[in-house]
Amino acid sequence: MAVARLTDSEREELLRRHPEWSLVRDGDAIQRTFRFADFNEAFGFMTRVALLADKADHHPEWSNVYNRVEIVLTTHDAGGLSRRDAEMAKAIDAL
Binding residues for ligand HBI, rule: CB under 6 A, are: 57-59, 74-77
Shortest Å distance, C-beta 43 to ligand HBI: 20
Close Cβ partners of 9 (under 8 Å, ≥ 6 residues apart) = none
Shortest Å distance, C-beta 40 to ligand HBI: 26
Nearer to ligand HBI, 18 or 59 (CB): 59
**Residue whose C-beta lies closest to ligand HBI:** 76
Among 48, 31, 34, 47, CA closest to 89: 31
